[in-house]
Amino acid sequence: MNGFVFTCGDVNGIGPEICIKTFNKKFNPQKHIVIFVCPANVFETVVQNIQPNFNFSIIKNLNNIREGRINIIDIGKVKLSPGKPTKSSGKISYKAILKGLEIIEKGLAAAMVTAPISKLALHLANIDFPGHTELLSHRSGIKNYLMMFLSRSMKTGLVTIHEPLKKVPGLISEKKISSAINTMHFSLKNDFGIGKPQIAVLGLNPHAGEAGEIGREEIDIIKPAIGKFENVYGPFVPDAFFGEKLYKKFDAVLGMYHDQVLIPFKLMNFRSGVNFTAGLPFVRTSPDHGTAFDIAGKFVADESSMNQAFSWADKIVNMRKKSGKGK
């Protein structure tokens, strides 16, 4: 059986709801050991509105985890304020992540599936991390990691993550791009079973700099990084690359900043895309959307992306076992 730990995310958002809807649809007691880190009062509130079709136990001691059911790890009572990021929701979302890491470190799960968190709530709770990717890599002691996004039509990754656009040119470097390519290449081989990955790299500037007329980052930084590798191509003009659907010719696409690849990715895969952190010693996936505070507490959230996050985590865990890189 594969073990998975789900974290509740921001309890004032849709995280607990989409987790429970996903358990209803995807949980197989013969195949999965599932641990859900969530305050008991939050879980009980949601299941009053969404009937669970699975067996579950609410526990506090990890020694009481059992197969054939959803194990709810109660991490303490929290006041619910649906639709509003609060100090309390920030603290509990952070606590859930740390408990999830403890479960991973104890060998009770090979994968973590994280519900969306609020950066504002984390800030209100004085927690200085912009997101899951940075937090999990820091706590795992991993320097070479990569935020990737997965779908049937495209896999993509980011050189810079949650950074203001004005900082991006100063943050990209030959070393950073080379590290991203290395991490992506390793993940494509070991997490997805692609023998000789073909990777496309996008330029930073409009028209990929147009031979230095609109910026020199492509000439001075991006091309030298690409030149170190076989089967890595670019830098491509971003708008033409997606407009001509050149992504179909490659196993993955590496972009320089967040919206450069997330806008086309979400246009093609909204509600079905998955966030994946490559380079971690365990599998971590997440829906590719946020907390959806505007519909929190209405119990109308679409769980499709969380369903896919569970499915991709299962596939990657199995592939790592096959490649000898997993437990």
DSSP conformation letters of 215-226: BSHIIIIIHHHH
Please give the Cα distance from 294 to 116 (Å, whole number).
14
What CATH architecture applies to the domain 1-142+280-327? 3-Layer(aba) Sandwich (3.40)
Q: Residue 208 is encoded by which pair of tokens? A: 């990929």
1-142+280-327 and 146-272 have identical folds = yes
Reported as half-sphere exposure (CB side, CA atoms, 13 A), residue 204 has a value of 27
Q: State the pLDDT at residue 252.
A: 98
Q: Residue 92 is encoded by which pair of tokens? A: 């509990």
Maximum separation of any 2 CA atoms in the chain, in Å = 64
Note down pLDDT in tens along the chain; length 327 residues: 789 999 999 999 999 999 999 999 999 999 999 999 999 999 999 999 999 999 999 999 999 999 999 999 999 999 999 999 999 999 999 999 999 999 999 999 999 999 999 999 999 999 988 788 888 988 888 889 999 999 999 999 999 998 999 999 999 999 999 999 999 999 999 999 999 999 999 999 999 999 999 999 999 999 999 999 999 999 999 999 999 999 999 999 999 999 999 999 999 998 889 999 999 999 999 999 999 999 999 999 999 999 999 999 999 999 999 877 654
Task: From 114, 111, 108, select the one nearest 65 (Cα to Cα).
Answer: 108
- Residues of 36-59 as b/e, b for ≥16 C-beta within 10 angstroms? bbbbbebbebbeeebeeeeebebb
The answer to whether 159 and 172 have CB atoms below 8 angstroms apart is yes
Task: From 63, 127, 49, 55, select the one nearest 89 (Cα to Cα).
Answer: 127
Q: What angle do CA 232, 234, 235 make, to 5 degrees?
A: 135
Q: Which CATH fold topology does 146-272 show?
A: Isopropylmalate Dehydrogenase (3.40.718)
Output the pTM of the full model. 0.93
Q: Residue 288 is encoded by which pair of tokens? A: 């590719």
Asked if omega into 82 is within 30° of 0 (cis), the reply is: no
The answer to whether 8 and 22 have CB atoms below 8 angstroms apart is no
Inter-CA distances, 206 with 36, 161, 221, Å = 44, 19, 16
**What residue spans define the domains of the chain?**
1-142+280-327, 146-272
